[in-house]
Structure 1
């Protein structure tokens, strides 16, 4: 496998881990630790470093001098903005594929919700977050690549760490009555687009509101102000061959 493919593989794996909330806000990536990750077994530092810098350039991670890269600690303002965008785009994607569901695919979606509920019942936070994200990815038909799906994936990777922090600290959001996922499944079976939109917005907004509350309570104002989501200045790094390459870290 070529170096380019290795870089692409690492980038996609890191995006998935961010989406699933496996890294908290402020997490610092250490090359030595990543090289020990079974998913990157046999790889050199180069594709891992390049993948991290690609995520910095995409404003998903932030970089520091010496190629130190970490997960941003979002301000409440920026997190509200990003989650609002994600909510809007997910509704667009779900409605775009509204007529594509048959009973077999609905059973697959329902199984993801049941797996999430089962994980929650045994306090398995990692799998609870994983199956929740998988439910939303399946709802949006993320397997069908498009510009819209790419934007949704990016926004999930940005918000995922904050969701992981929320649940990892035991501060979960609580839904009373029917879970929004069940309402979403009901809407798809009944071909009720308005119910689908309401249920999806309810699901996303309820969790988002709780995340903002927890961030304000448990992270200091100084920490919240340290690392807002903002474009990174590109710098040039000289390679051994003497060529200059632009990287999104400074």
Structure 2
């Protein structure tokens, strides 16, 4: 017999986890931010249990750290953390992009151009929030086209780890991510189904963006 109460709780847990993940990825939560279980539950209008379960899930994958008084902290990354994560991201995101290039179609390419345009428009308007959201949507649509769900999960986990550093782009946008030219180059090689070059370009994109984050984070 199905346990509908348990199913509903799991659903709420997943919703809370997804909401916090999204906030981490776009820098809405900065390194050192404190999340209190009860406050989140009250704001969401739900019980403490699914909130605690969601937060503990995020602790288990390194996105948060447990703190006293039923609170959780967004961890700060060290230089060595950045270097390690960058190296892994270049490999995984390069692989996903290379696989996507082999599956590309005219319709998929049209969708990527649409998302790229949204990114450019948000960046030109100076709307950092929309720029980061559009950037995320563009990149993960490419990774989705790789048709490798496990790889997608691994990439998302790394984005959750580095995303809080994007918060510093809100505070100091003088050196925002300059990716339009590289994205145009990437779209070109995807269209030609050049998997090896697609891997290389995406690795370069990761290097550039992580370099910006490290500089903004330090200063």
TM-score bracket, shorter-length normalisation: 0.7 to 0.9
Segments of 4+ in structure 1 off by > 3 A? 142-145, 173-176
Q: TM-score, normalised by structure 1?
A: 0.78
Structure 1 residue 62 corresponds to structure 2 residue 68: no
Structure 1 residue 9 corresponds to structure 2 residue 11: no
For structure 1, list consecutive stretches of 5 or more residues without a partner in the other structure: 218-250
In the TM superposition, residue 13 of structure 1 has moved relative to its aligned partner by 2.1
Structure 1 residue 24 corresponds to structure 2 residue 30: yes
The 5-angstrom pairing of residues 145-156 of structure 1 reads 146-156=149-159
| Structure-2 residue corresponding to 1:179 | 181
Relative distance call for 1:155 and 1:109 in structure 2 (3 A) is same
Relative distance call for 1:128 and 1:213 in structure 2 (3 A) is same
Relative distance call for 1:167 and 1:192 in structure 2 (3 A) is farther
Relative distance call for 1:142 and 1:26 in structure 2 (3 A) is farther
In the TM superposition, residue 83 of structure 1 has moved relative to its aligned partner by 2.2
SS across alignment from 1:140: helix
Q: What is the rounded CA distance, in whole Å, between the counterparts of 2:145 and 2:62 in structure 1?
A: 21
The 5-angstrom pairing of residues 1-250 of structure 1 reads 2-35=8-41, 37=43, 40=44, 42-141=45-144, 144=147, 146-173=149-176, 175=178, 179-217=181-219
Q: What is the rounded CA distance, in whole Å, between the counterparts of 2:17 and 2:136 in structure 1?
A: 18
In the TM superposition, residue 142 of structure 1 has moved relative to its aligned partner by 7.2
Provide, for residues 77-100 of structure 1, a one-character-per-residue CA deviation record: whole Å limited to 9, x for no partner.
112211221121011111122221
Q: What is the rounded CA distance, in whole Å, between the counterparts of 1:48 and 1:165 in structure 2?
A: 27
Relative distance call for 1:196 and 1:143 in structure 2 (3 A) is closer
For structure 2, list consecutive stretches of 5 or more residues without a partner in the other structure: 1-6
